[in-house]
Amino acid sequence: MTTRGRITDAQSTREAAHAAVEYDRWFASTAPRAAFFRWLMSQPAQLLTNGPALRLPSSLRLDAATRMLDIGCGRGALLRALDDQLHFDTPPVGVDFSRAALALAARGAPVTAPRLVGGSASALPFRDGAFTLVTCGYLAKHLADDELLPLFAETRRVLAPGGLAVVWEFGPSGDRRLDAWNSRVLSVTSRAPRLRSSATLRRVAAEAGFEFTRDANLRPFLLPPIARASVLVGRPPEGWRERQSPAP
- What is the residue extent of each domain of the chain? 3-238
What end-to-end distance do the CA atoms of the chain give, in Å?
41
Phi-psi region at 231: left, alpha or beta (left = phi > 0; alpha = psi -120 to 50)? beta
Helix/strand/coil for 184: helix
Domain 3-238 has CATH 3.40.50.150: yes
pTM for this model (two decimals): 0.89
Residue 25: how many CA atoms within 13 Å on its side-chain side? Answer: 11
Q: How far is CA 128 from CA 47, 106, 238, in A?
A: 32, 26, 14
Helix/strand/coil for 29: coil
Name the strand (E) or helix (H) holding 56: helix 56-59
Task: State yes or no: pLDDT of 222 exceeds 80.
Answer: yes
Residue 16 burial (CB count, 10 A): 20
Cα radius of gyration rounded to whole Å, the chain: 18
Query: How confident is the model over 97-122, as pLDDT tens digits?
Result: 988 889 888 886 665 578 999 999 99
Task: Identify the weakest region by mean pLDDT among 34-38, 159-163, 170-174.
Answer: 34-38
Name the strand (E) or helix (H) holding 112: none
Across residues 51-68, what is the average pLDDT?
A: 97
